[in-house]
Structure 1
Amino acid sequence: MIPVNTPLLNGNEKKYLNECIDTGWVSSEGPFVARFEKEMASYTGREFAIACANGSAALDIAVKALGFQKGDEVIMPSFTIISCAQALIGQGITPVLVDNDFYTFNMSADAIEGKITQKTKAIMIVHIYGLSVDIDPIIALAKKHNLKIIEDAAQMHGQEYKGKKCGSFGDISIFSFYPNKLITTGEGGMILTDNENLYERSKSLRNLCFGKERFIHEELGWNYRMTNMQAALGVAQLEQINKFVKKKRNMGKKYNELLNGIKAINLPIAKTSYCENIYWVYAITLKNNYKKNVKDVVNELGALGVGTRPFFYPIHLQPVLKKMGFFANEKLPNSEKLYARGFYIPSGLGLTEEEIEKVSDVLHKVLI
């Protein structure tokens, strides 16, 4: 079986992990945490970075740091992971959903403006699968209506929008370092901002909101700290980010060449006017006239040794949120169609060229 993702850990990962073990600095107090934060801030062009336990934790912190009130609304895409909505709902904030474009997979300013009300306080930008959101029109909308921007760049390590790094556009931005990301720490996340108040508040929320005197708390936060061992992995991975970005794009180009003749599928868009695809995952959709459904296709691929993953299940259809009374009678056809017709194939950094060719051969057999 060729798995959907295999991480690449061939740099200084072992060296830095051994340093943690040899020095005894394995907790969140170790020096690699501050180093990882400083280097991520520098790489993305940010003033401040706060390492944390995972990407979902980063969203929780980012939302709370902005100081929204219960009943406030935040506009976000339906086609994304549930963590984005959970970070809002868990703090009494109402997610207002927009549909995603079927071909770029991303939200757009055109879908957002009609959703803005007096209760709207922010827009959550979520970059999906490899292309960035077209950010400038959304920033213009946010300025026009005095809204904050939360940027979820979990999948966008190394991606640029018009030459500027993703992760640098929001009032507050986040990354995830799950094993399928370009940079992995096993689990892990990062909050980034240029605002010193948001930085200090995020640091406090990450660490249980300890006050000036230890164990005295004026507010509830979380134990969302990153360990020194995780950060050691992150430092080693960040050292290779340019190589990783180049490899991802080469993998995407190779797949494009090998799969171009399959009439049953839409290949991912290689480039837009504002960014070049980073191919975080190689995401494809079945064309309307193709008779097999996604479940049949992925089962056949799996039987022939090719791992796959489904696309995101739309937020407005999530059973748990429906039970809570959200999104009654909501219809967002592109998000629904993306789930029904989309999946992605092996595209981790550890994937070899021979494996890419095997995956291509199997796809040609199945998608006839």
Structure 2
Amino acid sequence: MKNKKQTDVFGDSSINVPFVVPMITSDDKKSITNALNSRLLTDGPLLKKFETEFAKFTGSKFAIGVSNATSALQLSLLASGIGKGDEVIVPDITFVATANAVMATGATPVLADIEKNDLNISTDSIKSNITLKTKAIIPVHFAGKSCDMKKIVDLARKNNLTIIEDCAHAIGTKYDLKHVGNFGIAGCFSFYPTKNMTTIEGGMIICNSKNLAKYLISCRNHGISRTYAQRFSSGLPWDYDIKQHGYNFRLDEIRSAMGLSQIKKLREWNKKRNNAANYYTSNLKSINGIETPLKTPTSEKHSWHLYVIKIKSSYGITRNILFKKLLKQGIRTSVHYKPLHNFTLYKKKGKSFSSLTNSSVVYDEILSLPLYPDISKKEQDFVINKIKTLQHEHAN
């Protein structure tokens, strides 16, 4: 079966099945145009509306829009009083932003191993890495699958640790019927173009503390005590106070307008992702050497940001060779992620790395397949059939 060639986000015109297709609709474009025509381009009413809708979606009391998920993590860490001399436990397999945000506060990221079965942070590894300097844990809900939050919350309570959830992959993910991001002091979300919904760049923090929300709102805007609207309604817009150090981590009106438009379609998009993931699993699980993701328990909801398979030795060729062969067939795949302990920066700045066995083994096996709401059965069949064919050609 031949697929129609298309140009992917990287400008490659030889692609049959792209890895990701950002969902940008006519409604989004109209919302952006209306925001541009409003003249108030930042710190305006659209941000507040977007925050309100996001809080409703996640079941949280407060949502604070920020420039990206990295700044969301950094602000949440600062709000927890974390800084130089402190340690924060993060998973070894995550995007570098998780650890970078820790380092931006002056604290040290401590790398924990992952669970082989779902690629999330290992609670046993968290426990073994807790020291007198440990102040927080950042669990990352990898690929849209929730971490074992019951065990993590229990560990945090016993050791007086703060939990800040990295929910960059997990808009729509639930654990024990509750949206992730509500188990710690804060949950940090990403609206990068590859995510389940996008504002191009942008992020959101959710929390359930009024005092924390107030701090975050001020800190995202240089520590200024009043919002733009509050300052101008007083008649003396320059009359404000600064009681704390802050940053320019604002989310502007243009991105807020896009977020408001996108969130209306998010449930439907996540449903389509779930259907596509189930289709992959039902057709790939019988292939020798291919390990598909675990079935999601009924008390959880997987948002399927990524669909990650493992290439075992019995498949006949390595993950890297499979990646190259699929690309030759016009199928774009990827790997999420290179373990943090392999990067020079963390070798220099992090603690000594021990017992990261699972992340080291899994890294050589994992492959993320194309997944987006509008992926067609024809496109998925093209991917599935190529994986089957290559296995038959190279089987031991």
When normalised by structure 2's length, the TM-score is 0.87
Give me the whole-angstrom Cα distance separating, in 1, the residues matched to 2:381 and 2:102: 42
Runs (5+) with no aligned partner, structure 1: none
Determine if contact 2:172/2:301 at 8 Å carries over to the other structure: no
**AA of the residue aligned to 2:375:** L
Deviation per CA, 1:6-35: give whole Å up to 9, x if none: 02233631231121123223x222321111
Q: Deviations over 1:175-230 (max 9, x none)?
A: 00111211111111001111122112211221122357669755432211112111
Shift of 1:331: 4.0
Structure 2 residue aligned with 1:283: 308
Aligned to 2:34: 19
In structure 1, the residue corresponding to 2:314 is in which secondary structure? coil
Q: Secondary structure at the match of 1:289?
A: helix
- Match for 1:181 among 195, 202, 220? 195
Residue number in structure 2 paired with 1:308:
333
Q: 1:350 and 1:273, CA in 2 relative to 1: closer, same or farther beyond 3 A?
A: closer
Q: Secondary structure at the match of 2:183?
A: coil
Q: Which residue of 1 aligns with 2:382?
A: 358
**CA offset at residue 43 of structure 1?**
1.4
Counterparts of 2:130 and 2:353, CA distance in 1: 19
Summarize deviations over 1:314-359 as a string: whole Å, max 9, x none: 11221122133x2434340111122211110110223222211211
Is 2:272 the partner of 1:247? yes
Report the residue type matching 1:281 in the other structure: L
Task: Answer whether contact 2:156 2:162 (CA < 8 A) is retained.
Answer: yes
Flag the 1:273–1:95 CA change in 2: closer, same or farther, 3 A: farther
Structure 2 CA distance for aligned equivalents of residues 204 and 356 of structure 1:
46
- Partner in structure 2 of residue 88 of structure 1: 102
After alignment, is 73-82 or 330-339 more displaced? 330-339
Q: Which moved more, 1:138-147 or 1:247-256?
A: 138-147
Whether the 8 Å contact between 2:316 and 2:391 is mirrored in structure 1 is no
For 1:211 and 1:288, the matched residues in 2 are separated by: 58
Q: Using the alignment, how far apart are the partners of 2:306 and 2:112 within structure 1? A: 23
One-letter amino acid matched to 1:343 = L
Residues of 1 paired with 2:217 and 2:251: CA distance?
12
Q: Using the alignment, how far apart are the partners of 1:168 and 1:211 within structure 2? A: 26
Name the counterpart of 2:371.
347
Aligned-pair identity in percent equals 33
Out of 295, 301, 311, which is 1:270 matched to?
295
1:34 matched to 2:74: no
- The one-letter code sitting in structure 2 at the alignment partner of 1:7 is P
Q: Give the Cα separation in 1 of the matches to 2:354 and 2:160.
A: 27
Over residues 36-61 of structure 1, what are the superposed CA-to-partner deviations in whole Å (9 max), with x where a residue is unaligned?
11111111111111111111111111
Contact 1:5 1:350 in 2 (8 A): no
Of the structure 1 ranges 275-284 and 94-103, higher mean CA displacement relative to structure 2 is found in 275-284
Alignment correspondent of 1:221: 246
Partner Cα separation in structure 1 for residue 93 and residue 239 of structure 2: 42
| Aligned residue number for residue 347 of structure 2 | 322
Q: For structure 1, which segment, 216-225 or 350-359, has the greater mean C-alpha deviation from structure 2 after superposition?
A: 216-225
Q: Equivalent residue of 1:367, what SS?
A: helix
Normalised by the length of structure 1, the TM-score is 0.94
Structure 2 counterpart of 1:337: 361
Query: What is the CA–CA distance in structure 2 between the aligned matches of 1:307 and 1:214, rounded to whole Å?
Result: 54
The answer for the alignment partner of 1:103 in structure 2 is 117
Q: Whole-Å Cα distance in 2 between the matches of residues 288 and 307 of structure 1?
A: 22
Distance (Å, rounded) in 2 between the aligned partners of 1:237 and 1:211: 30
Q: Which residue does the alignment assign to 1:69?
A: 83
Deviations 1:216-265 (A, max 9, x none): 75543221111211111111111112211211110011111222231121
Larger Rg: 2
1 CA distance for matches of 2:195 and 2:374?
12
The answer to whether the 8 A contact 1:206-1:222 is kept is yes
Corresponding residue number in structure 1 for 2:138: 124
Question: 3-state SS of the aligned residue for 2:330?
Answer: coil
Query: What residue is the counterpart of 1:149 in the other structure?
Result: 163
1:114-164: CA deviation from partner (whole Å, max 9, x where unpaired): 222222211111110131101011111211222111011111111111111
2: CA distance, partners of 1:90 / 1:20:
33
Cα contact 1:178–1:185 (8 A) shared by 2? yes
Which residue number corresponds to residue 4 of structure 1? Answer: 19
* Matched-pair contact (CA < 8 Å) for 1:7–1:350: no
Q: How far did 1:273 drift?
A: 6.3
